[in-house]
Amino acid sequence: QVQLVESGGGLVQAGGSLRLSCAASGNIFSINIMGWYRQAPGKPRELVADITSGGRTNYADSVKGRFTISRDNAKGTVFLQMNRLKPEDTADYYCKAQIALFGDAWGKGTLVTVSS
């Protein structure tokens, strides 16, 4: 029903910035909450930030003040602006969409590596 494709990952030095994008296709108007999760090697996947269709946002404490999530409901796109990146931000970042009546859809992920 809904497919998600992330982009924008890469290698960046500590203190730098990166912007991740997630493009949804299919029945984009069925999407409620969209969010970004990340998973580092040997660690569980964790919520980074999410945003409702009404624009209400939620952030992990570790990224508050540094990351900003936004979305375009009409285009089915969600973004994650990451500023003042730290080495501990290094992880695979995944886009997730909560879809009415169908559960969750996940992207395949994009790797973010922050060097010290």
Contacts of 54 (CB under 8 A, 6+ apart): none
E strand intervals along 46-85: 46-51, 57-59, 67-72, 77-82
pLDDT at 21: 98
Q: In whole angstroms, what is the distance from residue 56 CA to residue 33 CA?
A: 9
pLDDT at 73: 87
pLDDT in tens, the chain (116 residues): 899 999 999 999 999 999 999 999 999 999 999 999 999 999 999 999 999 999 999 999 999 999 999 999 888 999 999 999 999 999 999 999 999 888 999 999 999 999 99
